[in-house]
Structure 1
Amino acid sequence: MERIVIDSWKNFLQSQGAAIEDGTVLHYGDAAAERSATDGTIVADLSQLGVIAFRGDDTATFLQGQLTNDVRALHADGAQWNGYCSPKGRLLGNFLMWRQGEDYCLQLSGDIAAGVLKRLSMFIMRAKVQARDASDETVRLVVAGKQAQTAVAAAMGAVPEAAMHTRAGDAGQAIRLGDDKFVLSLAPERAVAVWQILRESATPVGAPVWDWLRLNAGIPMIVAATQEQFVPQMVNLEAIGGVSFQKGCYPGQEIVARSQYLGKLKRRMFLAHVDAEAAAGDSLYSADIEGQTTGTVVNAAPAPAGGFDVLAVAQVESATMHTLHLKAADGAVLQLKPLPYALPE
């Protein structure tokens, strides 16, 4: 039933001019013009992302023992960044997490959602927890930009007052990521009406535009090409509030804690621009590490003025004392940009 509803939603988006490929809205006819719309307010469909939902009496306890953040601190009107690690402390996925009705919802890259759900489900055993793929149960949009708060208030009736808080209404749930960014999780039958109100002050854009805004906010997304490559601190997950160092054990916790407290972290995530096409998983090189890679692209998106902006994990010394090159030792040069938040010392 949900699949039919979501297919109807995508048909509606196509009627609005959306070019959709493999479930992702690429653009609405003019990708270059959409990139320039980032100076204003945008609305984008998030169907390319997956949602895993958990419910049941033991859900909070179960997720507390699996994820990097303090799930027990996630109140009914709260949201948090979170991660899921292998026993070696490497990220299998990271999430925007919120509560919606009885569910704990984890939004993540669509290409890893099925695998993460399968792996987490293996550990439920006798706990009173039900896990499911909820990707098609709601319509999810993101609204960002100067008029985002006004647009969301008009469409949803009200907005969460603070970042990383949510507000439920008749149309669904609004999750506030910051001053000017909101994710909406909507009842499918209300999505068209919400969209039409949002369109009065927001420009529809494809997923690459939202990817660019997200990565320029310093928010990483683990995808299939980068699974099990990074300890959470390498992608600055603790800097955006996605790791709790006070909670109990979870897979990889000892390694994550060791990275935090023993010695200085040798790899960090940087924001950069490159005048070449880039993609998640691309290797980086620098002159100080001859013949070996010094880092990896975490996420990449076309930049409004041309080229690509990237989030990239690299050796700190290589990034700060030398020049990073894309894909080869003599490849395109990465020009570092300041992150919008401070990194822990």
Structure 2
Amino acid sequence: MWTPLPSSGLRLTGADRVDFVQGQMTNDLRGLRTPGVVACCFLNVRGQIEFFARAYRREADVYLHLDAGQAEGLAARLRRFVIFDQVEIQDVSGELRGVHVWGQDVPGWTPEGPDAQSFELAGATVLGGRVNRTGTPGVDLHFLTRHEDAVRVALGGGETSLTMLEEARVRAGIPDVVRDGLKGTLPQEVGLDVGGPLPVMSYRKGCYVGQEIMARLEARGNARYHLGRLEGQNLSDHAEVTREGKVVGQAGAHADGLSLARLRKELAPGDRVEVGGVPATVQAFAPAPADV
């Protein structure tokens, strides 16, 4: 099975491209093998999430894969920090397409190989990344728009909807910064810390925007919220979670009777809350760590 991904992307070239991005993102790009891929966030000075991306390090460039409509904003942010750096930032959203293949049965992909691979598919060179979007690692494929029809034919007739992918993601407990409305939160509050279902952090990589706040949180471990999951019918997306009239969190996207949520840590499994006035129950769940 495979699902088209709403995507946008940036391509960074120039001699300083790796060091430049390394100084902006939360994870360790410089420490990757080439090719390699790592999930990361770009934070503001308060340590709050502005953008989420998967960063691919390749021989000639760095490719940042984002959700649809995100590349323009990240490009503007990055350009503000270019001073003497030899780096060019190109928005390639219109030139590339992406799909997620459920599982790793992709012609040309080597399941036991590295997390990022370039290979031939349907006469085109594609970029693949091992990504866990459903609870089981699959492959994100990135390719030129002009090769889209040929790639779809090569993948076969197993196209599934984004709704199905979202349902699987929420069941697996894997957060999505854009779809769960998590911009403006701290990574440690929403499952993006080291050991979480979607780790985006390196505490040893050196300075970046928001790094001081991240170091304090690592040292003190005092985030008041964590990633939880709610059960209920017809819950609103991105609505406040309340208990006895007090705001105790923020719900993400609702899918198949479940919502991931940023919740106060004192809430316990079985506690009754409301999401936008609709009853819901805090679920006990242990999300499996995502690979990238």
Pairwise TM-score range, normalised by the shorter structure: 0.7 to 0.9
Equivalent position SS for 2:200: coil
Opposite residue 176 of structure 1, the aligned amino acid is: R
> Is the deviation greater in 312-321 or in 135-144?
312-321
The structure carrying a bigger helix percent of its residues is: 1
SS at match of 1:223: coil
Residue 240 of structure 2 corresponds to 283
Question: SS of 1:175's equivalent?
Answer: strand
Superposed, which structure 2 residues align to 1:61-140 within 5 Å?
61-100=19-58, 102-140=60-98
1:161 aligns with 2:112: yes
C-alpha separation in 2, matches of 1:139 and 1:101: 21
Residue 54 of structure 1, aligned match among 4, 12, 27: 12
Bigger drift between 315-324 and 131-140 goes to: 315-324
Spell out, residue by residue over 1:26-67, the C-alpha distance to the aligned partner (whole angstroms, 9 max, x if none).
Answer: xxxxxxxxxxxxxxxx21111x22212212111111111111
Distance 2:33 2:173 in 1: 25
Give 1:195's aligned residue.
152
* Cα pair distance change 1:342/1:130, threshold 3 Å: closer
1:326–1:333 CA contact under 8 A, matched in 2: yes
What is the SS of the residue equivalent to 1:210?
A: helix
In terms of fraction of residues, the more strand-rich structure is: 2
Q: In structure 1, which of residues 308, 319, 325 is the aligned counterpart of residue 274 of structure 2? A: 325
Q: Which runs of 5+ in 2 are unaligned?
A: none
Q: How far 1:226 sits from its partner (Å)?
A: 3.6
Alignment of 1:261-280 (within 5 A): 261-279=219-237
Match of 1:336 in 2: 283
> What number of residue pairs does the alignment pair up?
280
Which digits, 9 at most, give the CA deviation of each residue in 1:112-137, with x for residues without a partner? 33222211111012201111211122
Matched, 1:296 2:250: yes
Task: Report if the CA contact (8 A) 1:83-1:91 is conserved.
Answer: yes
Native 8 Å contact 2:7 2:68 kept in 1? yes
Residue of 311, 315, 335 corresponding to 2:260: 311
Following superposition of structure 1 onto structure 2, how do residues 8-19 of structure 1 map, counting pairs within 5 Å?
Answer: none
Query: Using the alignment, how far apart are the partners of 2:183 and 2:94 within structure 1?
Result: 27
Q: Quick check: 1:185 aligned with 2:142? A: yes
**Separation in 1, partners of 2:56, 2:174:** 16
Identity score, percent:
25
Q: Does 1:44 align with 2:11?
A: no
Distance of 1:95 and 1:123 partners within structure 2 = 18
Q: Deviations over 1:60-119 (max 9, x none)?
A: 111111110011012222211101100000000111221355221222232433222211
Flag the 1:50–1:218 CA change in 2: closer, same or farther, 3 A.
farther
Q: Which amino acid aligns with 2:263?
A: A
Alignment partner of 2:30: what SS? helix
Q: What SS does the aligned partner of 2:148 have?
A: helix
Amino acid at match of 2:131: L
Question: Structure 2 CA distance, aligned partners of 1:342 and 1:74?
Answer: 19
User: Offset of 1:249 from its aligned partner?
Assistant: 1.1
* Preserved contact between residue 234 and residue 254 of structure 2 (Cα < 8 Å): no
Amino acid at match of 1:332: P
Q: Indicate the larger mover: 64-73 or 96-105.
A: 96-105
- Supply the distance in 2 between the matched residues of 1:194 and 1:64 (Cα, whole angstroms): 32
> What is the CA-CA distance between 1:263 and the residue it aligns to?
3.9
Query: Do the aligned partners of 1:143 and 1:182 also contact (CA within 8 Å) in 2?
Result: yes
Alpha-carbon distance, 1:301 to partner: 4.3
* Alpha-carbon separation, structure 1, partners of 2:221 and 2:15: 40
Q: What amino acid sits opposite 2:267 in the alignment?
A: S
Moved more, 313-322 or 89-98: 313-322
Residue 235 of structure 1: aligned partner: 190
User: Pick from 175, 187, 195: which aligns with 2:129?
Assistant: 175
8 Å contact 1:80–1:96 — kept in the other structure?
yes
SS at match of 1:269: strand
Query: What SS does the corresponding residue of 1:293 show, helix, strand or coil?
Result: strand
Aligned to 1:206: 161
